[in-house]
Amino acid sequence: MDETQNQLSGLLKAIPGCTSSRQKLKAALMDLLVSKRREVNLLLCAYDDNIIEKLEQTTDPTLYALRMIKSLSDDYGLTTDAAKWAISTWCIILGKTEIANALEEIPTATSASAPVANNTYTIGIGTYRAGFDFKAGDISLKHITNSTHAPGMTRGVTVLHGGTIDCYINSSPSRKGAKKLCSFNMCCHLEIENGQYLIITTSSEFADRDMIRIELSECN
């Protein structure tokens, strides 16, 4: 939790009813976050995207928060880090600090694309749920990132900068307590049950995470 988030953690108690309208919220944020117009605008973007209702109504708020980071980034042209900060901060404002903490541990997901072929999707570093983002059962993962760093080399390898793509499964979207299934440069096969979370990350701190693309194929 950063200084601004800590400052906003008591917003609802300090200014009751401030979220009842955009005008009231903006006034409250401007009073509290003097000279922090960027942070105010980020929080208003998330408010405009109905974050309060969405987080209160969903049965899996952590997964939904991840999806909102992606939609906020796409719809408002925000960087992933900015969108993640806005969603995490709203979780803190709403008293859902456990979700904000979980978001810090979870690689931000790129939503699974529409199928590029029958039962095949393009995904990225992130967290996905079997039975929600793809069909549970046997799946194969293939690293398909095109290399732009060294023409002529095997595609995908250079963006990892010597690391690997690592796959974990868990009953929750957190890495804590997750079971590691495989590490690969090019491809792997695994089995995942309905409702389990597939967490894809990389072992390299120098990897170009936003560039990495993986082809997920349902084998059953």
H or E stretch at 170: strand 165-170
Of 45, 50, 102, 99, the closest CA to residue 77 belongs to 45
Segment 151-203, tens digit of pLDDT: 333 444 456 667 888 999 998 877 788 999 999 888 999 999 988 889 888 87
Question: Are 158 and 147 a contacting pair, CB within 8 Å?
Answer: yes
Answer whether 173's CB lies under 8 Å from 131's CB: no
β partners of residue 216: 121, 141
Q: 3-state DSSP call for residue 146?
A: coil
Q: What is the pLDDT of residues 75-123, one digit of tens each?
A: 777 778 888 899 999 999 999 998 888 887 765 555 555 444 568 888 8
Could you tell me what percent of the chain has a pLDDT over 90? 32
Indicate the class that CATH gives domain 120-218.
Answer: mainly beta
Where in the sequence of the chain do the CATH 2.60.120 domains occur?
120-218
Residue 92 tokens read as 């803190």
Phi and psi at 165, nearest 5°, equal: -90, 130
Per-residue pLDDT tens for 23-79?
A: 999 999 999 998 888 899 899 989 998 899 988 888 888 888 888 888 887 777 777
Chain Cα centroid distance, residue 80: 8
Nearest Cα to Cα of residue 124 among 100, 101, 156, 84? 156
